[in-house]
Structure formats: structure tokens, C-alpha cells
Amino acid sequence: MNPIPPTDARPLLLTMGDACGIGPEVAVAAWARDRGADLRLVGDAAVLRRAMTMVGLSLPMAVLSEPDEAAPPDCLPVWQPSDLPADLLAQPLGQVSAQAGAAAARCIVEAVRYQQAGRSRGLVTAPIHKEALHAAGVDHPGHTELLQALCADAQGQLPPVRMMLANDELRVVLVTIHVALREAVNQITTGRVLQTLRITDAALRRFGIAAPRIAVAGLNPHAGEGGLFGDEEIQHIAPAIEQARSLGIDARGPFAPDTVFMRARHAPPRHPGEFDVVVAMTHDQGLIPVKYLGVEEGVNVTLGLPLVRTSPDHGTAFDIAGTGRADPSSMLAAIRMARQLASDA
């Protein structure tokens, strides 16, 4: 590696995602709209050239020897990690491919390595496919688990992380994510809720909010109505809030989940939000209100990592891969948010 560049010159790295999905398309389309001098694509040069054709982009590509190398203006800046599978272009679009899974993982690993070395400001990840990762022999089911493993400490301890989905009007952090609803209810414990509140408060402070106002949604209708509709609020959620407040965290609730998101929605001038973020108990409880406001502007942020990581709020979309119909709006929003968070951190 070259000497570490000045902090303000470090790039923002954008991994291409699964080569058989829409990741390469939305990556190059977002770059074409953004044209930020700090943005570098991490992926297979041939796959990204094909993606440029798919989205109707006719510009030269600059293949960089390292991601923090200076790039010529009006050239798509691409850094291709070593040891990517050689036959990616031969993999059918819209289908699960072990080669595509291996390439996606390799790009993430190398991008994280550069960020851990202080050579990049943040990481934006295009969508990957869990089945493709599994087919490639990757032990981790998705981005979050892979990133946790890459950020483990010297003793192998994984950093506790939480998913935040955000747009211009609403931020939501989830206590539980991709598990069956029955299992999610079992996971709502005082310790897990408290850990979520601590991660949320620390992350928002790191991102420039001096005193985060955290609303906590209840699990049950009307937040349990004093135990009439369930006692999770009494047994677990309220005690976690009380403990968080004793630590100086401005957590409030539990509030009825059918109204708390409206109270937190920040849509000035008529509706300034009462809170900076809502902590929701389950995946759908938290993500439905954010996605209703517009999937195209939603951004996934992984909280608790020692680095900035964002991603668009959609998957690989195999059904439209290669058609040029993929909308890069969410990717653009992820780039903007990563840039903002890296600046505030």
C-alpha cells in the first residue's frame, strides 16, 4: 500500500454486490448521477463495464491499482481486488452463482481491510445474495454477519450490532431482525432492549446528534395496556428504558406502536419530529413505516461497527437483473448518508 492519504482525501468505497443481480447496475448508475470525486467502485472491471452498457452509460473506465489512487475526471473509477473468480461474465444473470457469491464476499473483505487501515472514509455495499454466499462456502449468511466477523477484536469477540433503516423523515432501529415472529418475541429481553438503546445512543452521538431523543415502541397493541394485552412491556421493555435513563440515555416509552412512528416522523415545517429515532421490537413493526414513506429513499445503516457502512434498501432483484430497469435512488441515498456519517463521525 501507498502512504496513508490525508483524511479529507480518503475515498468512499462502493462494493459491486452480486454480479448476477442488480448491484453492478445500480452502482454504476448511482456513480454517474453522483460523480463525487471521493467515490470508488470495488469489483470486477468486466462486470462493471457490462453494467455500464446495461444502463446506457458511455464513459471510459479507470482501473486503479489501489482504491485511494487518484482517478481521472469523467472516468468510472474501479478497483478490482486480486483473486476474483475469472468467469464472472459467464454466470447467468438472475441466477444463484457460487462464483458471484465468492466475488461479492472478496470485494467486501478487501474494502473492509482498506477501511481498517485508515485508507477509506466509509463503505457502501450493493446487495448480495445469501444463497450465493452459501454456495461459495462463505460461513456467514449475509453482510452484517460477515462485517461483524471482519471487525472482531483480538479475542474473536464480535461487536454487537443493530440494523437502522433511515430516510429523510424517519429513523428506526430494530431489536430483532430476520427471525420468525414467534422467536422474535422470545428475544425481547431486558438485556437485548438495553443493548439496543446503548448502541443506538452511541451511534447517533457519533453521527453528530449531541443528545439523541429515543422513542421506544411497545410490542403489544397499545403497548400492552398495563398488562391486559401482554406483559413484555412491564417485564422487559420498561425496565430496559429505566436502566438506559440511569445511564444518561434519553429513552422514552414504551409507546403504542401504532402511533409512535407518526410522532417521530420529521417533516418540517408542519410536522417536526418529537424524536430522533424509534427503537422497534420486530422487523416488520419497524420497517413497514419507513418503507411506506418510500423504499427508493431508504438506507440501511449497520450500527455498532467500528466503521461506517450503509446499503440500499433492496435486494439483488434477480427478476430484473440485466434489463436496465433497476432504480439507483436508494443507492444514491446510501452514498449520501455514508458521506454524511463519515463527515460527522
Reported as a single tens digit per residue, the pLDDT across 204-247 is 998 889 999 999 999 999 988 888 888 999 999 999 999 999 99
Residue 175: its pLDDT value, please? 97
pLDDT on residue 39? 96
Block residue for cell numbers 482525501: 9
- Report the length, in residues, of the chain: 345
- pLDDT range class, residue 3, cuts 50, 70, 90: very low
Domains, the chain, ordered by start: 7-159+305-344 (3.40.718.10), 162-291 (3.40.718.10)
> What nine digits make up the cell of 210?
449531541
Query: Residue 230: is it exposed, middle or buried by C-beta count within 10 angstroms (0-12/13-18/19+)?
Result: middle
When mean pLDDT is compared across 3-7, 170-174, 314-318, the lowest value belongs to 3-7
What pLDDT is recorded for position 295?
A: 66
In this prediction the pTM is: 0.88
Contact predicate 309/122, CB 8 Å: yes
